[in-house]
Structure 1
Amino acid sequence: MFAKTLVAMALTVAAVSAAEAKDWEIYGKINVSAQQSDEGEGSFGELKSNASRFGIKGDYALEHNLTLVYQLEWEVDPSDEANEKNIKSRNQFIGLQGAFGTVLAGRHDTALKLAQGKIDQFNDYEADIKTLWKGENRVSDTVMYQSPSVLGFKFTAQQIMADEPEADSAQSYAIGYGDEELKESAWYAAVALDNGVNGYDATRLALHTRLAGFKLGAMLQQQENVETGDEKDGYLASLAYPLGKFELKTQYQVQEDDNGVSAGADYKLGKNTKLYGWYSSFDFDSAIDSDYLAIGLEHKF
Structure 2
Amino acid sequence: MKKVLLAAAVASFGLSAAQAAPTLYGKLNVSLNQVDNKDFKGTNETQLNSNASRIGVKGEEKLTDNVGVVYQAEWAISTDGSGSDTDLSARNRFLGLKFKDIGTLKAGQYDSYFKTSAGKYQDIFNDDTNLDITKTMYGEERLKNAVGFETDKNLLIPGLQFNLMAQTGENITSVYSTKKRDSFSGVSTSLSYENKDYGFATALAGNFAVAGAYNALSLKDIDSNAYRVTGSLDLSKAGLNGLVLGALFQHAEPSNSPSAADLTAAKLDARVASLKEQAWILQATYNVANTPWTVKGQYQSAKTEWTGDDRVLDQYGVGVDYNLNKQARLYGVLAQQKRDWQTDDNKKTVFGLGMEYNF
TM-score, normalization by structure 1:
0.88
Corresponding residue of 2:204: 191
CA apart distance, 1:21: 3.9
Partner of 2:274, secondary structure, is: coil
1:30 equivalent to 2:33? Answer no
Corresponding residue of 1:252: 299
More moved, 20-29 vs 251-260: 20-29
Corresponding residue of 2:287: 242
Query: How far, CA to CA, are the matches of 2:231 and 2:90 in structure 1?
Result: 30
Query: How far, CA to CA, are the matches of 1:280 and 1:202 in structure 2?
Result: 27
Listed as ranges, the matches of 1:47-62 within 5 Å are: 47-62=48-63
Query: Which one-letter code corresponds to 1:74 in the other structure?
Result: W
Whether the aligned pair in 2 keeps the contact of 1:21 and 1:59 (CA below 8 Å) is no
- Which of the two has greater strand per residue? 1
What's the CA shift string for 1:202-223, capped at 9, x where partnerless?
A: 1100011101221100010101
Query: How has the CA–CA distance of structure 1 residues 130 and 299 changed in structure 2, closer, same or farther, with 3 Å as cutoff?
Result: same
Corresponding residue of 1:224: 253
Whether the aligned pair in 2 keeps the contact of 1:21 and 1:58 (CA below 8 Å) is no
Aligned residue among 263, 271, 275 for 2:318: 263
Larger Rg: 1 or 2?
A: 2
Whether the aligned pair in 2 keeps the contact of 1:93 and 1:108 (CA below 8 Å) is yes
Partner of 1:275, secondary structure, is: strand
Cα RMSD, aligned residues only: 2.1
CA apart distance, 1:200: 1.4
Corresponding residue of 2:214: none
Partner of 1:266, secondary structure, is: strand
Corresponding residue of 2:81: 80
Corresponding residue of 1:7: none
CA apart distance, 1:295: 0.2
Query: How has the CA–CA distance of structure 1 residues 197 and 216 changed in structure 2, closer, same or farther, with 3 Å as cutoff?
Result: same
Query: Which one-letter code corresponds to 1:221 in the other structure?
Result: Q
1:202 equivalent to 2:226? Answer yes
Listed as ranges, the matches of 1:1-301 within 5 Å are: 20-22=18-20, 24-38=22-36, 39=38, 40=40, 41-81=42-82, 85-98=86-99, 99-118=101-120, 119-125=122-128, 126-149=130-153, 150-151=156-157, 152-163=159-170, 166-167=179-180, 169-178=185-194, 186-198=199-211, 199-211=223-235, 212=240, 213-226=242-255, 227=258, 228-243=273-288, 244-256=291-303, 257-286=312-341, 288-301=346-359
Query: Which one-letter code corresponds to 1:293 in the other structure?
Result: F
CA apart distance, 1:191: 0.3
Extract structure 1 runs of 4+ deviating beyond 6 A: none
Query: Which one-letter code corresponds to 1:196 in the other structure?
Result: A
Partner of 1:134, secondary structure, is: coil
Corresponding residue of 1:9: none
CA apart distance, 1:42: 2.8
What's the CA shift string for 1:219-274, capped at 9, x where partnerless?
A: 10101023323111111101000111110001000111211001010001122110
Structure 2 runs not aligned, ≥5 long: 1-14, 172-177, 212-222, 259-272, 304-311
Corresponding residue of 1:5: none
Partner of 1:190, secondary structure, is: strand
Query: How has the CA–CA distance of structure 1 residues 78 and 184 changed in structure 2, closer, same or farther, with 3 Å as cutoff?
Result: farther
Query: How has the CA–CA distance of structure 1 residues 85 and 233 changed in structure 2, closer, same or farther, with 3 Å as cutoff?
Result: closer
Query: How far, CA to CA, are the matches of 2:189 and 2:144 in structure 1?
Result: 16
CA apart distance, 1:184: 6.0
CA apart distance, 1:24: 2.3
Query: Which one-letter code corresponds to 2:54 in the other structure?
Result: R
CA apart distance, 1:289: 2.6
Partner of 2:89, secondary structure, is: strand
What's the CA shift string for 1:94-131, capped at 9, x where partnerless?
A: 00001320000001100100111222111011221111
Partner of 1:87, secondary structure, is: coil
Number of residue pairs matched? 282
Query: How far, CA to CA, are the matches of 2:326 and 2:280 in structure 1?
Result: 33
Partner of 1:270, secondary structure, is: coil
Query: Which one-letter code corresponds to 1:127 in the other structure?
Result: L
Query: Which one-letter code corresponds to 2:106 in the other structure?
Result: L
Partner of 2:79, secondary structure, is: coil
Query: How far, CA to CA, are the matches of 1:282 and 1:94 in structure 2?
Result: 39
CA apart distance, 1:44: 1.6
CA apart distance, 1:147: 0.6
Query: How far, CA to CA, are the matches of 2:322 and 2:71 in structure 1?
Result: 33
Partner of 1:136, secondary structure, is: coil
CA apart distance, 1:290: 1.2
Whether the aligned pair in 2 keeps the contact of 1:127 and 1:262 (CA below 8 Å) is no
Query: Which one-letter code corresponds to 1:176 in the other structure?
Result: S
Query: How far, CA to CA, are the matches of 1:209 and 1:292 in structure 2?
Result: 28
Query: How far, CA to CA, are the matches of 1:89 and 1:295 in structure 2?
Result: 27
What's the CA shift string for 1:70-107, capped at 9, x where partnerless?
A: 0000111110249x942211100000001320000001
Query: How far, CA to CA, are the matches of 2:68 and 2:353 in structure 1?
Result: 42
More moved, 89-98 vs 147-156: 147-156
Percent of paired sites with the same residue:
30
